[in-house]
Copies of this chain bind each other. A is one copy, B any other.
Amino acid sequence: MTYKFSKRVPDPKNDAVGDILKAAADPKVTSFAGGLPAPELFPVQGVKAAADKVLDEKGPAALQYGSAQGVPELRNVVLKRLEVEGIHTTADHVMIATGSQQSIDLTGKMFLDEGDVVIVEKPTYLTAVDVFRSYGARFVGVDMDEDGMKMDSLEEALKNNPRARLIYTVPTFQNPTGRTMTLERRKKLVELADKYDVMVLEDNPYGAIRWEGENLPSLKSLDKTGHVIYMGTMSKIFSPGLRLGWVVAEPKLLKRYTMMKQSADLHTDSFSQYVCAQYFTDNDINDHIKKITALYHKREQLMMSAIDKYFPKGVQHSNPEGGMFLWVMVPGVKDSKELFNAALKRNVAVVPGDPFYGSDPVPGTFRMNYSNTPEDGIVDGVKQLAAALDEVMSEPATK
């Protein structure tokens, strides 16, 4: 039968990323394509102890329906994480979401009508593009350099797009580039959001995983007018399997989030919220973050030195001070998919750049993840990828 779908439903043929991840899941393939944490560092024993304690001490509450805003114990844990980001606030400003993805979804649902504009980094987090598009958004991309979004380009975009409703940014160790926005630009961004009266969605999944440079204040901590909505997650510092994220906003705005959240899934998993809160109470999360940071740093260094050694001349990459991703730019490639296919033939997967662009993809770009591949796989994978690049770069252009 033929279904009469709403305008929001994408054609499954366009699930390019799904297809990539499926190809990358082949056990033969060394995948730099995903964005997964290193599973060997998951605090399995700590979670077990926390789960036992929660079930012993508050079993019925952990298995019962809960409030849409989230378990108070976990909201208090979040407040401590927010302190690190320079955000000094109270639990009535915090809502627990079913992972960061839900925070993005609810924000799109709340702020976007058909034809509204979302201003994004160029490139940006691809699944955010999918979500905003499902609410009828158009995208305006803002140029970046190694210091993040360019502010003159942002102001231009704001000036030219009166229907801009949202600036979506990952200011620290951005996905996909690994780049971090400077303090000066952060201040300017907050100022522009106020000047043009546009909301900012600050997405900070990776900020805690820093091995170099100084912590920079979050946009939210610089915001005096309430234009910045901050979102964070447990996925990179604890576990992504427990779908736990948070939205931080003024109580008046948070009330709407809570209503929309209730419509979306009533509330986030009670059991996982209690278990996570218990784990954070009984363990020093900063010790754990240090271990994650050390391992990812080692893997990043290894990947970058292998790239510098084996990749053809002219290939550029970002140089992140933390997070999980490298961004690679290959000159003279017309079609990023060609790159992907050449790599896959050699059993290596990356994500070609196109889907990371809300508009006007830059060919010859791709994202590499280093957090999820053991050290020997990194070197071998980069060698194979280098061979694929040699092939693609030396080929005469096919169009």
22 contacts between A and B (CB under 8 A): A4-B111, A5-B110, A5-B111, A6-B113, A8-B109, A9-B260, A12-B259, A18-B262, A37-B64, A39-B64, A44-B59, A44-B63, A48-B52, A51-B51, A61-B241, A62-B241, A65-B240, A105-B263, A105-B264, A105-B265, A130-B262, A271-B271
A270 within 8 A of B: yes
A20 within 8 A of B: no
A131 within 8 A of B: yes
A84 within 8 A of B: no
Q: Kindly state the separation between the CA atoms of A8 and B257 in the bound complex, as whole angstroms.
A: 12
A40 within 8 A of B: yes
When the two chains form the complex, which single residue of B52, B62, B260 contacts A134, counting CB atoms closer than 8 Å? Answer: B260
Quickly give the copy total for this chain. Answer: 2
A397 within 8 A of B: no
When the two chains form the complex, which single residue of B12, B34, B253 contacts A256, counting CB atoms closer than 8 Å? Answer: B12
Interface residues of A (CB under 8 A from B): 1, 3-10, 12, 15, 18, 34, 36-37, 39-40, 42, 44-45, 47-48, 51-52, 55-56, 59-66, 98-99, 101-102, 105, 109-113, 116, 127, 130-131, 134-135, 165, 197, 199, 225-227, 235, 239-243, 253, 255-256, 259-260, 262-272, 275
Q: List B contacts of A264 (CB < 8 A).
A: 101-102, 105, 131, 264
When the two chains form the complex, which single residue of B48, B113, B127, B225 contacts A7, counting CB atoms closer than 8 Å? Answer: B113
Least CB separation from A113: chain B residue: B6
When the two chains form the complex, which single residue of B1, B12, B52, B266 contacts A99, counting CB atoms closer than 8 Å? Answer: B266
Given A39-B63, A269-B272; 18 other pairs, CB 8 A cutoff: A1-B225, A3-B253, A4-B165, A5-B111, A9-B259, A18-B262, A39-B64, A44-B63, A47-B55, A47-B271, A48-B51, A48-B55, A48-B56, A51-B52, A63-B240, A99-B265, A242-B272, A243-B266
